């Protein structure tokens, strides 16, 4: 007879306690907190086998989010699969900034007043950014694009499950958006250098490569997005991008070279300049 406490103790040899609790909670269909108050509960054979298999897969490097099928982002659960990047806490900074962006003429106000604003999320992946913005700004018209059909399917499902209404479009960055302009453009594009050893280590090995890597210096996607953005921004519109820990100076230059003004850069919780943006005058 194996109790919750004993199963968790056995898993501790291979995994941090918090991960073991998440996985066992998933197997039992209970929140991880439930385990703490039920640590003498006896587990049946099926649960033990499922838990052992998840512990082994996690110990082999598969990300917890793929094993349990979701990751929390901005207080909501987003379903994830190996076709999409796992939402990151850094990306919540991008959403925070977008929520504060006052594109006055289009009515993006914290109180929800004003005209309909047009928002675009490039490379939406799980849809975590676009769906969050659509839910936080129900009066805005949000478009989410991705080059991957599988990612769009995942993002659509998240939008449906969370009750967000937005437009999805399969597009390589702006390619299918000819002639369209937006008040707010956001993106968490791939930004890791192709030869970066991190890509071949840890959890990143399991995430979709096109969502992570972008050319020799990691800036290919960012260069394309910034160069094309002004033609898709409404007057006064803003562009905000997440980027790598060592790309702040390069991204600032690219934003300036594209003619954007009021360039701002923000640090993430780790103190790294992680999100940069500018405005079209």
Whole-number minimum distance, CB 129 to ligand GLN, in Å? 5
Instruction: Report the residue number whose CB is nearest to ligand GLN.
Output: 125
Q: Which is nearer to ligand GLN, 189 or 244 (CB)?
A: 189
Q: Which is nearer to ligand GLN, 108 or 211 (CB)?
A: 211
Q: Which is nearer to ligand GLN, 108 or 130 (CB)?
A: 130
Whole-number minimum distance, CB 132 to ligand GLN, in Å? 10
Whole-number minimum distance, CB 11 to ligand GLN, in Å? 28
Whole-number minimum distance, CB 44 to ligand GLN, in Å? 36
Q: Which is nearer to ligand GLN, 185 or 211 (CB)?
A: 211
Q: Which is nearer to ligand GLN, 114 or 210 (CB)?
A: 210
Place of tokens 């929140």: 31
Q: Which is nearer to ligand GLN, 6 or 162 (CB)?
A: 162
Whole-number minimum distance, CB 133 to ligand GLN, in Å? 11
Binding residues for ligand GLN (CB under 6 A): 85, 87, 91, 123-126, 128-129, 188-190, 211
Whole-number minimum distance, CB 165 to ligand GLN, in Å? 18
């Amino acid at each position: 007879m194996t109790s919750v406490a004993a199963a968790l103790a056995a898993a501790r040899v291979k995994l941090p306690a918090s991960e073991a609790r998440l996985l066992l909670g998933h197997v039992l269909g209970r929140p991880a907190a439930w385990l703490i108050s039920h640590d003498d509960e006896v587990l049946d054979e099926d649960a033990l086998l499922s838990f052992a298999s998840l512990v082994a897969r996690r110990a082999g490097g598969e990300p917890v989010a793929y094993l349990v099928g979701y990751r929390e982002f901005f207080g909501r659960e987003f379903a994830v699969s190996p076709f999409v990047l796992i939402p990151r806490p850094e990306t919540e900074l991008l959403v925070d900034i977008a929520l504060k962006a006052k594109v006055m003429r289009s009515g993006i106000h914290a109180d929800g007043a004003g005209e309909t604003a047009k928002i675009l999320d490039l490379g939406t992946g799980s849809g975590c950014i676009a769906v969050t913005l659509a839910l936080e700004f129900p009066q805005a018209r949000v478009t989410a694009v991705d080059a991957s059909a599988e990612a769009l399917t995942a993002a659509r499902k998240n939008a449906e499950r969370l009750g967000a209404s937005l437009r999805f479009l399969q597009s390589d960055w702006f390619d299918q958006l000819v002639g369209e302009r937006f008040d707010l453009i956001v993106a968490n594009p791939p930004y890791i250098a192709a030869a970066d050893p991190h890509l071949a280590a840890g959890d990143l090995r399991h995430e979709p490569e096109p969502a992570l890597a972008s050319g020799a210096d990691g800036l290919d996607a960012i260069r394309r997005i910034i160069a094309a953005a002004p033609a898709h921004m409404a007057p006064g519109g803003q562009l905000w991008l997440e980027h790598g820990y060592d790309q702040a100076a390069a991204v600032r230059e690219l934003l300036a070279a594209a003619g954007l003004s009021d360039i701002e850069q923000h640090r993430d919780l780790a103190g790294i300049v992680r999100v940069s943006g500018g405005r079209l005058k």
